Amino acid sequence: MIERKRGGSDLAVRTLSGIVLIALALAALWGGGLWLWLLTSVAAMLMLAEWGDLVQPDARQKRLALFAGCVPLAIMSPLASGVSFFSLGLIVGTAFFVTIITRKPRLGFGIVYVALPALALLFLRGREDGLLLALWTLASVWVTDIGAYFAGRSIGGPKLAPTVSPNKTWAGLIGGVVAALILGLLLWRFAGLPLQLVFASPILAVIAQIGDLYESWLKRQAGVKDSGTILPGHGGVLDRLDGLVPVAPAAAALILLDTLL
């Protein structure tokens, strides 16, 4: 959720970049399998590199985390174990390994932070109605971001968390929630999204904005404006996917719980 004022040219670059990223994500979702695994793995490694810059380990510790992070991501491949409890256990085990070797718990947590959302997206896409579920998850984050941006700019009002992110407002939060609910209703009406997931959409919107605030707090702690510079108009990959990081596992947990019940 980004509500700071930008110039017209910056907004144009940001919009064009966003369209390209969404098209890439949709193509990977449609292809599924190796294509989605490849995209999520590349994104996760870029996020882990940016995470390392935010928590500020030395260069050797950052390289260790990057090499270690490749292991659970590789195991998630459809050509290896794929989505399994083994992959989940390996994520946790790798996080503990990095923490013990570097004595930096936040660096170890970065493994979970980037790999768990990747596993969650692969899990969602692998379901019988996986294309719809994965699309609902990603689009919920996208429309939350858009709704929060325009509601925050047009309405303004009281700040949501001024000490963490001074530009975010309660109006933006409400706008994002409403946008996510509208998306859920549209997917229910035209694509057959289960009604219980429609009502879960506003919850995902709140979770997305919590993820955004958490990354804003991390950047404030590190004294930087953006997590990186790789994406024109957006900053780093973490800046673009901060809302998806908690939303993907939350959506996967909802689907898993519904299956078990």
CA–CA separation, 172 vs 152, rounded Å? 4
pTM value?
A: 0.92
> What is the pLDDT, as a whole number, of residue 18?
80
Alpha helices by DSSP H, 56-194 = 59-75, 85-102, 105-125, 130-155, 170-191
Longest dimension (CA), the chain: 52
pLDDT per position as a tens digit, 11-65: 677 778 788 889 999 999 999 999 999 999 999 999 999 999 998 878 899 999 9
pLDDT per position as a tens digit, 184-220: 999 999 999 999 999 999 999 999 999 999 999 999 9
The b/e string for 30-58 (b: 16+ C-beta within 10 A; e otherwise) is: eebeeebbebbbebbbbbbbbbbebbebe
> What is the pLDDT, as a whole number, of residue 110?
96
> What is the pLDDT, as a whole number, of residue 235?
84
The b/e string for 199-232 (b: 16+ C-beta within 10 A; e otherwise) is: ebbbbbbbbbbbbbbbbbebbeeeeeeebbeebe
Helix 59-75 and helix 105-125, axial crossing angle in degrees, nearest 10:
20
Q: Does 4 score more than 60 pLDDT? A: no
Q: Does 5 score more than 50 pLDDT? A: no
> What is the pLDDT, as a whole number, of residue 7?
46
Q: Which comes out higher in pLDDT, residue 158 or 56?
A: 158
> How far, in Å, are 17, 21, 63, 68, 219 from residue 49 at the CA level?
21, 19, 9, 12, 14
Confidence of residue 260 (pLDDT cuts 50, 70, 90): confident
DSSP assigned state of 235: B
Chain centre distance of CA 21: 13
Strands 165-169 and 159-161: antiparallel
Rg of the chain over Cα atoms, rounded to whole angstroms, equals: 18
Token pair in block for residue 252: 């996967």
> What is the pLDDT, as a whole number, of residue 1?
43
